[in-house]
Structure 1
Amino acid sequence: MLDKYAEWDTYETINAIRDALAVHHNVIMIEANEDAYEKFRKHRPDIVFNVAEGAHGISREAQIPAMLDMLQIPYTGSDPLTLSLCLDKSRTKEVLTYYGIPNSKFVVSQGENGFAGKELNFPLILKPIGEGSSKGIFNSSYVNDYETFTKTLVENVEKYNQPFIVEEYLPGREFTVAVIGNGNEARTFPIVEVNFSELPEDMIPIYSYEAKWILDTRDNPLDIFSCPAQIDAELENKINEIVLKTYSVLNCKDWSRIDVRLDVNGEPNIIEVNPLPGVLPNPDDNSCYPKAARAAGMDYSQMINEVLFSAINRYGLA
């Protein structure tokens, strides 16, 4: 499958995280595979900097944290429940809706039934229910009529072997917000805006797999992000408020990156929550969490160690 490995970090990123931590700490590397549990038992690290995406199943991001919880080893980032919840787009949206946090109207479909009663308004966006890193979200995921929708949905449900979220398209500007910290001390970094005007004319203004992984390359990077976003104070406050509330109700810990899009009335809606944000180390690469951290005055090493320090404080290890 074209996007099978999109979620996994490269050796360059893994080594950059190791080097950042090694400035202040002794570091050992443990691969997130079937042998990880015994290696954790053997080495008993004081704390684990977790960036493991896991493999197989809707709860794959929870695999390593669940091992660490069983062994009572502290780790950075959210717990197994939050990681599993945030990877399931429908459950995330249900929780947000319960707490009155705006997000686009949606249904979940297995493919054959389309969407019950056709109660959604076109255009629509189709997303696999349990993927990250724009996997399964292509230019063709934007559909504007029922015939195209049905054909696209059936093909993608079969391809990804999972239900799909069908949600109303939000036509406004898109932002992503990096969050760090816990509880009342959680804070946002400067907001990043996605500049869809940089995409080719035949591309729908969404951050699709094509935009993220095919059109945007190191040799020919897209100038698709601006940080800080050029927005007025009122909108900035609205975005930060909805992001921090989302971070809180989903019980995110230490760090996350949360995507926001404006609706037809210009009001911010939550579209994605990523409690394991990507952290490409090269400033020339488009990686939003490090970009926001740099705008806040941090270099890569400071950012990584700030996340670690947040977890150390949360566990009372300082």
Structure 2
Amino acid sequence: MKIAITCNIRSDESEKFMEWDEYETIEAIEKGYINLGHTVQIIDCYKSDIENEIKKFKPDIVFNIAEGLSGEKRESIVPELLDKLNVPYTGSGPKTLINALNKAKTHKLLDKFNVPNPRYYESKKPLKKLPENFLYPVIIKPLFEGSSKGIWDKSVVHNDKDLFTVSESLISKFNEQPIIIEEFLTGREFTVAVIGNEDLTILPVVEINFSELPKTANPIYSFEAKWIWDTKEKPLDIFTCPAKLNAELKHEIETVIKNAFKALSCRDWARIDLRLNSLGKVNVLELNPLPGIIPDPKANSCFPKAARAAGYNYEKMLDLILKTSLQNKYNTEKMKKKAKKNN
């Protein structure tokens, strides 16, 4: 089978490119699929004429992990093109990628499908006081950034002064991008990797151990935690996988995960972040339909970590994602159209 890998390869370590993948990750994906017997071509979407490369290579399917560079629709660009070209691809479609990146749209869809999530408020301006029905503490985030960008240790605020300072800083730093304020949930936090469609395989749950952060740090997986304090050279022992869960909590997590995946119309694979509220109830923080899959275990990449705990090495994980994608109804329909056209 011919597989194209659509991606963005990180050219430097600046914050601008932090959502992009390092070449080592792309190389590991390429090697994995070659070892599985496939013919592979890497398409760096920042440097290539994507449409021309796809037409020349004529892939049977595209393994898509292209993040794009800017704007709230950046992750949808490649899937939109592939839909236009009638080319099958792994992962969610354009609408899901837009809705998952925009935190307010995610909340609205979760509310529509009665999936528990924190109270939220969207604003285009810095806030001098809390919206009605909110109490401190709250957490402030940019509306459509990923990889913990803009989620600083100081983003958890406890008073009006810090509310204004942080909200003003975020709007300024991210070029007038709106912000979202969420009630800050104080319970345990988990991230859950899933593979599937109608039948979801929920991989072992990963728990984030905030006790491993510096003593003065807020209990969040902030930008500092992800990119400064937790490094490959000095990894924090911040994740437990599988998490220690009683039967009731495990069942609740699995139910919420399935409902959230369905609410945003995710396909094939995703990673979903959860946190318990003060009553111990599971809430969805956000969904990531383009999860990171760094191959090096020292990098603390949660999707491969969960896969390893389930007994899948990197190659088997890639194979499972591919086989899942080939069986989803969107790709099977594309393959039927392609076969009909060729006959």
SS in 1 for 2:257: helix
Seen in structure 2, the aligned counterparts of structure 1 residues 26 and 102 have a Cα distance that, compared at 3 Å, is same
Q: Is the 8 A contact 1:187 1:244 kept in 2?
A: no
**Whole-Å Cα distance in 2 between the matches of residues 255 and 136 of structure 1?**
25
**Whole-Å Cα distance in 1 between the matches of residues 178 and 280 of structure 2?**
30
**Whole-Å Cα distance in 2 between the matches of residues 70 and 277 of structure 1?**
24
Deviations 1:108-137 (A, max 9, x none): 011245567443110010110001110100
Seen in structure 2, the aligned counterparts of structure 1 residues 110 and 311 have a Cα distance that, compared at 3 Å, is same
Aligned pair 1:188/2:202, yes or no?
A: yes
Deviations 1:280-311 (A, max 9, x none): 10112201000000111100000011101111
Aligned AA (1:219):
E
Which of structure 1's runs of 4+ aligned residues deviate more than 3 A? 112-118
Deviates more, 1:116-125 or 1:55-64: 116-125
**Aligned with 1:165 (options 158, 175, 180):** 180
The offset of 1:96, in angstroms, is: 0.3
Q: Percent identity?
A: 45
Deviations 1:246-270 (A, max 9, x none): 0011110110000000000000000
Structure 1 unpaired stretches of 5+: none
**Whole-Å Cα distance in 2 between the matches of residues 303 and 117 of structure 1?**
44
**Whole-Å Cα distance in 1 between the matches of residues 184 and 151 of structure 2?**
13
Aligned pair 1:251/2:279, yes or no?
A: no
**Whole-Å Cα distance in 2 between the matches of residues 239 and 281 of structure 1?**
26
Seen in structure 2, the aligned counterparts of structure 1 residues 38 and 114 have a Cα distance that, compared at 3 Å, is farther
Q: Is the 8 A contact 2:121 2:131 kept in 1?
A: no
> Superposition pairs for residues 144-159 of structure 1, below 5 Å?
144-159=158-173
Q: Is the 8 A contact 2:127 2:163 kept in 1?
A: no
Seen in structure 2, the aligned counterparts of structure 1 residues 86 and 114 have a Cα distance that, compared at 3 Å, is farther
Aligned AA (1:48):
V
**Aligned with 1:12 (options 20, 24, 27):** 24
**Whole-Å Cα distance in 1 between the matches of residues 126 and 97 of structure 2?**
29
Partner residue in 2 for 1:32: 45
Aligned AA (1:178):
A
> Superposition pairs for residues 1-318 of structure 1, below 5 Å?
3-23=15-35, 24-33=37-46, 35-114=49-128, 117-161=131-175, 162-183=177-198, 185-314=199-328, 315-316=331-332
TM-score normalized with structure 2 length = 0.90
Q: Is the 8 A contact 2:127 2:167 kept in 1?
A: no
Structure 2 unpaired stretches of 5+: 1-12, 337-343
**Whole-Å Cα distance in 2 between the matches of residues 296 and 212 of structure 1?**
24
TM-score normalized with structure 1 length = 0.97
Q: Is the 8 A contact 2:73 2:98 kept in 1?
A: yes
**Whole-Å Cα distance in 1 between the matches of residues 128 and 104 of structure 2?**
16
